[in-house]
Amino acid sequence: MKRILTGVIATTALLGGIASAPAYASPAGGNAPGRHCVVAPGPSTTCYDTFREAIRQATGGRVTEAPSDPAVALASAEFARDINASGLASDGRAPVSSIEYENPNHNPATLTFALGACGSDDSWDYGLSDIDGVDPAWDDRISSYQGYNGCQVNHYEAPGYRGDRTGYRNSQKDMGSMNNKTSSLRWR
Ligand SMILES: [Ca+2]
Ligand SMILES: [Ca+2]
């Protein structure tokens, strides 16, 4: 099933079975650089002061002891195991699909997409056609990323999955020519 996040139009029909995910409040001016933001189905974006709190919220309280430094978390096999294991729970909450980072090498500000796990085939599972719809502060800002729960991520230069792209990958510490260009994304 494909789920499309337009950023401005979100209906329960579009979101199917994950519409029952816990409600996340909309940000109230919480998109300043340096924050740790979580995108849940809806879509809704909520930002937190610390990476640990963002991960706690993104995993529905299942991962409470994430390292406070995102780069340290990304280097931790235990953290990856915890994030993937948290996606196995069938409580209606969407598992973490990927974590996107402001700078290369997985730091310091983060944007966690908790849209769901990904299937094993080559068709895409989730799409965000314009990152402005969830957080304009993140347009042309992503510089590294890591997929979880079976997800590979494709990053596109322009809205609507157009322009240059990274191709579907599980992780990049350095996005090369796509550094600071992402305006739309797909997960598979
Ligand atoms: Ca950047
Ligand atoms: Ca762009």
Instruction: Write out the residues surrounding ion ligand 2, Cβ under 5 A.
Output: 140, 157, 181, 183
Q: Report how far ligand 2's centroid is from the alpha carbon of 161 (Å).
A: 10
Q: Report how far ligand 1's centroid is from the alpha carbon of 79 (Å).
A: 23
Look at the domain 2-187 and name its fold: Gamma-B Crystallin; domain 1 (2.60.20)
In 64-85, which positions are buried (b, 16+ CB within 10 angstroms) versus exposed (e)?
A: eebbeebbebbeeeebeebbee
Q: How confident is the prediction along the chain (188 residues), in pLDDT tens digits per residue?
A: 566 665 433 333 233 323 223 333 333 333 444 589 999 988 889 999 999 999 999 999 999 999 999 999 999 999 999 999 988 776 777 999 999 999 999 989 999 999 999 999 999 999 999 999 999 999 999 999 999 999 999 999 999 999 999 999 999 999 999 999 999 999 99
Give me the pLDDT at residue 43, please. Answer: 83
Q: Report how far ligand 1's centroid is from the alpha carbon of 108 (Å).
A: 10
Q: Considering the entire predicted model, what is its pTM?
A: 0.83
Residue 174: nearest ligand to its CA?
1
Give me the pLDDT at residue 119, please. Answer: 93
Q: Are 106 and 172 in contact (CB under 8 A)?
A: no
In 95-104, which positions are buried (b, 16+ CB within 10 angstroms) versus exposed (e)?
A: bbbbbbbbbe
Q: Report how far ligand 1's centroid is from the alpha carbon of 104 (Å).
A: 7
Residue 160: nearest ligand to its CA?
2
Q: Enumerate the domain spans of the chain.
A: 2-187
Residue 179: nearest ligand to its CA?
1
